[in-house]
Every structure is written in structure tokens, then in C-alpha cells.
């Protein structure tokens, strides 16, 4: 796996709460940053509950 996939896997396992998912359809890629939407899905609604911003590469 690469850095991005490892980070997404970590977020899914340790940060997201019940019924929350990462919405990869609306990823905003800037020159050095990536914004990832966190959505909560229920039977009737889909709500954006947060945005995770991270660096494009692994060096900070």
C-alpha cells in the first residue's frame, strides 16, 4: 500500500464513528492538500459531518 491508502485505512479503523464513511467521490485535491468528506449515512439521509484535510505527500 502507499501512504494515501494507509492513511485512509487508519482513518476508517480508528477515527470514524458508527455509520460514518469517507466519501471518496468528492475528494478535493489542491496543489499540496487533499480534502476528504466524512458523511453519515442513515436509512433516509446522507449528511456531511466533517472534512479531513491532509498533506498530499508523506513528508511534513
**pTM as predicted:** 0.74
Residue 51's nearest CA partner among 41, 40, 36, 39 is 36
pLDDT of the residue at 17: 92
Q: Has residue 56 got a pLDDT over 80?
A: no
Give CA separation, 43 vs 24, 30, 38, 55, 60, in Å. Answer: 20, 33, 17, 33, 39
Based on DSSP, count helices (H) and strands (E) in the chain, helices before strands.
1, 3
Residue 40, pLDDT score: 94
Q: What is the pLDDT of residues 1-55, one digit of tens each?
A: 587 788 889 999 999 998 899 988 877 777 788 888 999 988 999 999 999 988 8
The rounded distance, in Å, linking the Cα atoms of 50 and 60 is 22
Amino acid at each position: 500500500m502507499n501512504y494515501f491508502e494507509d492513511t485512509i485505512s487508519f482513518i476508517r479503523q480508528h477515527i470514524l464513528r458508527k455509520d460514518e464513511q469517507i466519501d471518496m467521490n468528492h475528494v478535493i485535491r489542491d496543489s499540496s492538500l487533499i480534502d476528504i468528506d466524512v458523511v453519515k449515512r442513515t436509512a433516509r439521509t446522507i449528511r456531511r459531518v466533517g472534512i479531513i484535510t491532509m498533506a498530499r505527500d508523506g513528508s511534513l
